[in-house]
């Protein structure tokens, strides 16, 4: 799976250009709310939020630099869904380097998925976010389309 | 949502996490990404949550779990996603009465996502 495939799983209605949250739990809740407000037929926010919080308790997904990948499988979805969010001020997400986190890629996967899309999408995002220039371009993109172009290099 | 049902869903989600963590290929890939989780920690969290379930529900959960890998499933399009049997239309209204409901066909614990 490449980054274009991953972005097909996301969409403008799953993009938060600027998080209002100032802490980890609120950031996760805001991203889950975005998911619930979208047309993915998920009405029960608590079960998804609880899954993400449980995962974070096992070790932070803010593997840096400045990027977190909250993720996990949830009974509440039939499709792999990607929510993308940014915080220009940065949020304490218990990152491995101790620095604030500015970019968030939340992946919520179904219990079963053919070809393990979930892992492929996560790997593609983690790889892309290791590139300093791509990450900076993404941080400076103010809309979903420009964020997409920043990561894929498309005009 | 009923707290017992929330716990049962959370337990099932942790079971999925454990399944992935115990898969050698998945685990190796996660480790490469710096996202590997300790299976012992997942098991400890699972056990702690199982102990929070009321004895009657826990007994039922364990009986179903002895038969199937996924004792808790979602209802999609009016069907149990464990056995795909239709779920009565009254389910959603009854579910609102704060009860843990079961599939009439396979016995799995159901919830509306």
* Domains of chain A by start residue, with CATH: 3-145 (3.40.930.10)
Please name the residue that has the structure tokens 């963590």: B21
Residue of B nearest to A56 (CA): B37
Q: Say whether pLDDT at B28 is over 60.
A: yes
- How confident is the model at residue B97, as a pLDDT? 64
Q: Say whether pLDDT at B30 is over 90.
A: yes
CB A7 within 8 A of CB A151: yes
Q: Say whether pLDDT at A18 is over 80.
A: yes
pTM beyond 0.80, yes or no: yes
Instruction: Please give the Cα distance from B99 to B95 (Å, whole number).
Output: 6
Per-residue tokens: B48: 């702690």
Share of chain A above pLDDT 90, in %: 58
| Mean pLDDT taken over chain A | 89
Q: Say whether pLDDT at A45 is over 90.
A: no
Average pLDDT (A50-72) is 94
Average pLDDT (B68-76) is 92
Residue A106 burial by Cβ neighbours in a 10 Å radius (0-12, 13-18, 19+): buried
CB A66 within 8 A of CB A102: yes
Residue of A nearest to B32 (CA): A123
Contact B9/A50, CB-based, under 8 Å? yes
Please name the residue that has the structure tokens 């009657």: B56
Q: Within 10 A of A80 (CB to CB), how many other CB atoms are there?
A: 21
- How confident is the model at residue A64, as a pLDDT? 80
In the sheet that B101-102 helps form, which strands lie side by side, from edge to edge? Answer: B79-80, B72-76, B109-111, B101-102
Class of domain B3-111: mainly alpha
Q: Say whether pLDDT at B94 is over 70.
A: no
Average pLDDT (A36-63) is 89
Is A40 part of the annotated catalytic residue set? no
Q: Say whether pLDDT at B1 is over 80.
A: no
Per-residue tokens: A136: 């900076």
- Cβ-based contacts of B76 with chain A (< 8 Å): 41, 78
- Cβ-based contacts of B111 with chain A (< 8 Å): 44, 47, 75
Per-residue tokens: B19: 């399944």
Quickly state the pLDDT bin for A154 (edges 50, 70, 90): low
Q: Say whether pLDDT at B3 is over 90.
A: no
Q: Say whether pLDDT at A95 is over 90.
A: yes
CB B14 within 8 A of CB B42: yes
A37 CA: distance to closest CA in chain B (Å):
13
Q: Say whether pLDDT at B24 is over 60.
A: yes
Q: Say whether pLDDT at B13 is over 60.
A: yes
- How confident is the model at residue B39, as a pLDDT? 93
* pLDDT digits 0-9 by tens, A30-43: 999 999 988 777 77
Q: Within 10 A of B72 (CB to CB), how many other CB atoms are there?
A: 24
């Amino acid at each position: 799976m490449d980054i274009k495939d991953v972005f097909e799983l996301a969409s403008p209605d799953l993009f938060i250009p600027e998080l209002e949250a100032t802490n980890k739990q609120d950031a996760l809740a805001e991203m889950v709310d975005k998911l619930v407000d979208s047309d993915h037929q998920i009405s029960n926010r608590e079960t998804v939020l609880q899954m993400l919080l449980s995962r974070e308790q096992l070790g932070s997904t803010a593997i840096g630099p400045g990027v977190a990948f909250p993720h996990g499988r949830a009974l509440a979805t039939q499709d792999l869904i990607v929510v993308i969010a940014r915080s220009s001020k940065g949020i304490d997400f218990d990152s491995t380097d101790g620095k604030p986190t500015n970019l968030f890629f939340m992946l919520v996967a179904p219990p079963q998925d053919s070809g393990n899309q979930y892992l492929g999408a996560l790997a593609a995002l983690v790889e892309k976010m290791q590139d300093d220039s791509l990450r900076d371009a993404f941080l400076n993109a103010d809309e979903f389309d420009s964020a997409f172009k920043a990561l894929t290099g498309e005009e | 949502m009923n707290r017992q049902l929330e716990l049962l869903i959370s337990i099932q989600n942790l079971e999925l996490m454990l399944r992935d963590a115990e898969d050698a290929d998945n685990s190796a890939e996660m480790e490469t990404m710096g996202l590997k989780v300790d299976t012992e920690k997942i098991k400890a969290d699972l056990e702690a949550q199982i102990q929070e379930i009321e004895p009657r529900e826990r007994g039922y959960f364990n009986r179903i779990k002895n038969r199937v890998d996924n004792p808790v499933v979602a209802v999609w399009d009016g069907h149990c996603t464990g056995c795909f049997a239709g779920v009565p239309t009254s389910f959603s209204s009854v579910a609102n009465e704060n009860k843990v409901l079961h599939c009439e066909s396979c016995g799995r614990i159901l919830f509306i996502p």
